[in-house]
Amino acid sequence: MELITVILAILIDQISKYFVVRYLKPIGTFPIIDNVFNFTYVENKGAAFGILQNKTLLFIIITIIVGTILVYSIINVPSSTFYKFTLSMILGGAIGNLIDRVRLGYVVDFIDFRFFPAVFNLADSMIVVGAILLCYTLILKREN
């Protein structure tokens, strides 16, 4: 189940970015809901909110270290299926962005809520949602 979650997360992320590069990059931005939500092509050479620009090697190293810890935890730490699912979401999102960094030297972002200070992608969303669910699980010590 965990492997399927990781693979699906990577596929969803990379397929969305393929279409973004192919169809959105040439036009730059496409409004979905005026002044609220756009698809906007961004090449992010930094981390969240564009911090630490051009530190690609650092991000690759950190992702490999964190990814290794996540894989170890998924395989070796006895825990609930839901807990492992949250780690798998985080891992899949991290690998999706890692693929961009290694292949392109930047991460393709495109989800642009005009009231939010950054443009992001589906891998970022998987990491954040996985982390929120992980916190929920750890705080409530919920077993599923």
Catalytic positions: 109, 124
Q: What is the torsional sign of CA 127, 129, 134, 135?
A: positive
3-state secondary structure of 40: strand
Position 73, amino acid: S
109 sits in the region (left: phi over 0; alpha: psi -120 to 50; else beta) called: beta
Q: Measured between alpha carbons, how far apart are the two ends of the chain, in Å?
A: 14
The 10 Å Cβ neighbour count of residue 92 is 27
